[in-house]
Copies of this chain bind each other. A is one copy, B any other.
Amino acid sequence: MMNTTYSSPIVTVDSVVFQLVQQKLAVLLIARTNQPFAGIHALPGGYVSAGETTLTAMTRIVAAKAGIELADCGVVEQLYTFDTVARDPRGHAVSVTYMALGRNIMPQLRSDTHYPQFFPIDALPEIAFDHAQIIQYAHERLKSKISYTNAIYALLPELFTLSQLQTAYEAVVSHPLDKRNFRKKILGLEIIHETDQTFRDGAHRPARLYRFNTQVVTNISSF
């Protein structure tokens, strides 16, 4: 064993990039240009080469295929590694998946035209490979993550109203929350603080703007 003529599986990465689009959770998909699944939407992904880390590869691939800089995403987290048998024409592939959270991301059409777009998670098109399951897995992870960390900051602008924050939570957990209970709880967690600024938007009372205490993922357990 362990001889140097050993033949390894192909290593790939696939990325689930989330952002809020019109107050709904949306995921980045590209239209595939090659077989299999040509024309069908898929997560941006590609091959990892020897000498680059999976995270570096992901950054490179998402920039190349969707014109998105992962550095602009406030949270990047590894999800799971799938043994996707019979997916790659060259044989067995191991796919490392990541989740990224961003805001105000504008996908750019690249020269090789992969048609990157954000789709609301409750209105996804047909999805190639097992990527629908990966998206679902990422969504579950995100739901869970925002319940014990401040990670939702990465989906919001630096300054935000409590209503925007509540809407973001609701977009992720996909059910409505009680306004008074939500505010009581979030303020009690001491992960945000109010600023002296307000936000005016239409014919109603202006909203106080808040800011996260930190833009680093932090646990908010009861201990």
Partner-B contacts on A (CB < 8 A)? 1-2, 4, 6-11, 46-55, 64, 78, 80-81, 83, 85, 90-92, 94, 96
Contacts of A85 in B (CB 8 A): 53
Of A2, A47, A50, A53, which is in contact with the most chain B CB atoms at under 10 Å from its CB? A50
Which residue in B10, B48, B83 is a CB contact (below 8 Å) of A54? Answer: B83
B78 A47 Cβ-Cβ under 8 A: no
Q: Which residue of B lies closest to A51 (CB)?
A: B92
Q: What's the minimum C-beta distance from A217 to chain B, rounded to whole angstroms?
A: 15
CB-CB under 8 A from A49, the residues of chain B are 6-9
Q: Which residue of B lies closest to A47 (CB)?
A: B6
Selected from B1, B2, B50, B81, the residue in CB contact (under 8 A) with A8 is: B50
> Bound complex: CA of A15 vs CA of B4, how far in Å?
22
25 CB contacts below 8 A, A to B, read A1-B47, A1-B64, A2-B46, A2-B47, A4-B90, A6-B10, A6-B47, A6-B49, A7-B50, A8-B11, A8-B49, A9-B11, A9-B48, A9-B51, A10-B50, A11-B94, A51-B91, A51-B92, A52-B92, A53-B83, A54-B81, A54-B83, A55-B83, A78-B80, A81-B96
The residue in A4, A6, A90 that gathers the most chain B C-beta atoms within 10 A of its C-beta is A6
What CA separation (Å) do A83 and B54 show in the bound complex? 7
Q: Most chain-B Cβ atoms within 10 A of its Cβ — which of A8, A51, A78, A96?
A: A8
Known A9-B8, A81-B81: A92·B50 in contact at CB below 8 Å: yes
A51 and B2 CA atoms in complex are apart in Å by: 16
> Does A48 contact B81, Cβ atoms closer than 8 Å?
no
Across the interface, A94 reaches (CB within 8 A) one of B7, B46, B54, B90, namely B54
Q: Given the complex of chains A and B, what is the CA–CA distance between A96 and B96 in angstroms? A: 9
> A221 to nearest B CB, angstroms?
11
